[in-house]
Amino acid sequence: MSSHAGGAGFGGGHAHVVAASASGAVYFYHVWYLFAACVIIMMMITVATIAQQIFQKTRP
């Protein structure tokens, strides 16, 4: 299962105020960290899968 969410970001990794609502500023960097973590986990799962396939005797 692939997850290809790369190629876009939200103001880099810095604390970055990107918008203001009536009640105050909205910070997107938390969202960025969340998605970055998900992508890194997907990358680790992918490489682990490939590593297992190397030693797998059966073919799909």
Note whether 3 binds another protein by CB under 8 A. yes
Least distance from another protein to the Cβ atom of residue 32, Å: 8
* DSSP designation for 28: -
Least distance from another protein to the Cβ atom of residue 4, Å: 5
Q: What angle do CA 8, 11, 28 make, to 5 degrees?
A: 95
Note whether 52 binds another protein by CB under 8 A. yes
Q: Which one among 15, 33, 44, 49 touches another protein, defined by CB under 8 A?
A: 49
Residue 55, CA atoms < 13 Å, CB-side half-sphere: 4
